[in-house]
Chain A
Amino acid sequence: MIENTSQETPRANAAAALRVAAASFAYGAEPALTGIDFQVMPGQAVALIGPNGSGKSTLLKGILGLIARTSGTVEVLGAWPAPAGYIGYVPQTDQIDPHFPISLEQVVMMGRYRSLGWWRMPAKADRRAVAEALETVGLGNRAKTRFGELSGGQQQRGLLARAVASAPRLLLLDEPFNGLDQVNRDALIETVKRLKQQGVAVLVSTHDLDLARAVCESVLLLNGAQVAFGPRDEVLTLTNVQKAFGSVGVEMDEHTIVVPGHGGH
């Protein structure tokens, strides 16, 4: 790298992978999230932090175009709607039927469907991409296992592999740390770091400050509206966090945000 750009402040002229400006989102007539203004540069990661119901999932769905935007703009690599295949999305695993008869590698192959198109069956290049994606998340030896037989953490990594297999430019993760043990957390963090090195932009919603500290340069604090956005350590102040979590009793340590009456994570 010749240019010495600070990690925290992206070059003004660089093309953002995701740019959200003065955006509001709504479920039907009900406004769900207002005043969102931030961007994610290629190779960088932003953590979405806020209490339950603060609009983290809403924002992810708004970026995916699954819920209505009532004002402002959203651009993925300068375009809206996002070109097919630009966004990789890792949903929460609790929606998935554990009895569904499908193997891990078949789930990951779904990441290739969009580029395959209707009618076409996967080719050798697709199989290679799937195998590589599974190696990337450290599940190369579980390819044939039925998805429902994997542990929650492995399922989460499997869905991440599906997103990786689609070679996205922007990766959206919805609470990827929920219910994960340390081994799976480490594997997930490693994968996200590797993707960032490849220039993938990452937006991850989380309760977990470890994840934010490990991979995110910036933090977006939410509480039905944007509370703060900026470099991680500038945003994650006790005052800001208390503002987002709406409680003066909120405490914060190295790893987690503790809301009175809710326990930690």
Chain B
Amino acid sequence: MDVFTSLITAFDLPFMARALLVLVVLSLVAGLVGVLVNLRGLEFISDGLTHAVFPGVAIGFVWGGRDGLFVGAMVAALLAAVVLTVIVKRAVTSDAAIAIVFTAMFSVGIIVVSRETNYVGQLDALLFGRLLTVSPTEVNQTVVVCLIALVLVGSTLKEQVFRAFDLEGALAAGYRPLVLDLVLNVAIALVVVAASSAVGNLLVLAVLIVPGAVARLVTNRLWLLFPVAAGFAMLAAWVGLAFGYDASVNGGVDLPSGATVVLVLVVGYVAALVVRLGLDRIRALGRRRRLVERVGR
């Protein structure tokens, strides 16, 4: 029963409570943004954005430590979101060009960090986060950044869905896709920034993409997608944190908390996928049986 008591008791510890708070806020916003990423098929571009934000994180960190990290990431995120929106709009490039630009930026970030002493430790923290040593200041920063992203996406949600469903129709209705795309890309970039101290630059992609994908497996109802994605992400964050805590306290195994949360997300996805495939199979069999009965009669 230890694992289950850990679901509650783990968060008596202030650092665990802070980690949970950061992840819950992040999950809520990443879930909403992630559904749009899924509907638009922007997974690859989101991946590019996480890479592009990295040099900003690195330069900010080298320049001003943990506080600088936040400023640098914000600047890089906004810059990357704007550049990306324009590149895609111009359509002068392919996926290859996006990949080249953003991996190049990622390399710049790594080179910047490599000038630091304790290079490996720093890089590790930037890439994979330091969920359990998140400071109260970082909690506040995360909440503020998430709030901005939430307002951006919330105020354009139905228009974003319109654009995702039918670009021509949205254009004809007088919407400017460039504006909508910019808003969404900035929101994605903000989620990347918000996540950089908690789950790090690499794992944030899972927080952005898995909940939206799970929601698509669970429901076909448009406005249910958003709460399902956010709720699933929050649940995974809670279970993942508690599981990591339990493994370390009762099992003596030290699990990196960010990665544990991500794995719980993925396990949840696999479970949803299996259930969905099973249900589809049963439904298909039922349909065939009805058909056979009708023909047999």
Contact = CB atoms under 8 A, between A and B. Distances in A.
B51 interface: no
Contacts of B156: 118
Interface in A93-138: 95-97, 100-103, 106-107, 110-111, 113-114, 116, 118-119, 121
Interface stretch (A39-47, A83-91, A176-184, A211-219): A83-91
Given A102-B222, A106-B222, A113 B165 contact: no
B30 interface: no
A101 B158 contact: no
Contact of A110 (B39, B171, B173, B219): B173
A99 B236 CA distance: 26
Interface string A54-65: 000000000010
B11 interface: no
Please name the 9 residue pairs, one residue from A and one from B, whose CB atoms are nearest each other, closest first.
Answer: A89-B172, A101-B220, A91-B168, A102-B222, A64-B172, A84-B174, A110-B162, A119-B155, A114-B173
Contacts of A116: 158
B214 interface: no
A110 B165 contact: yes
A166 interface: yes
A146 B221 CA distance: 8
Interface string B164-185: 1111110111100000000000
A147 to B, nearest CB: 8
A118 B172 contact: no
A118 B155 contact: yes
Given A87-B172, A91-B168, A95-B168, A113 B216 contact: no
Classify the secondary structure of B's interface with A. helix
Given A66-B172, A103-B222, A118-B159, 19 more contacts: A64-B171, A66-B168, A66-B171, A89-B172, A89-B173, A91-B166, A95-B166, A96-B166, A100-B164, A100-B165, A102-B161, A102-B222, A110-B162, A110-B173, A118-B155, A119-B154, A121-B158, A166-B173, A172-B172
A1 B161 CA distance: 45
B151 to A, nearest CB: 10
A57 to B, nearest CB: 10
A162 interface: yes
B267 to A, nearest CB: 23
Contacts, number: 64
A113 B169 contact: no
Interface in B80-120: none
A159 interface: yes
Contacts of A119: 154-155
Interface in B158-211: 158-159, 161-162, 164-169, 171-174
Contacts of B169: 89, 91, 110, 159, 162
B165 A102 contact: yes
Contacts of A146: 220
Contacts of B159: 113, 118
Interface string A163-195: 000100000100000000000000000000000
B41 to A, nearest CB: 9
B225 interface: yes
11 contacts: A64-B171, A66-B171, A89-B169, A91-B172, A100-B39, A101-B39, A102-B165, A110-B173, A116-B158, A119-B154, A146-B220
A66 B176 CA distance: 10
B155 to A, nearest CB: 5
B204 to A, nearest CB: 25
A214 B203 CA distance: 60
B130 to A, nearest CB: 37
Contacts of B219: 101
B221 A103 contact: yes
A202 to B, nearest CB: 15
B73 to A, nearest CB: 28
Contact of B165 (A85, A96, A172): A96
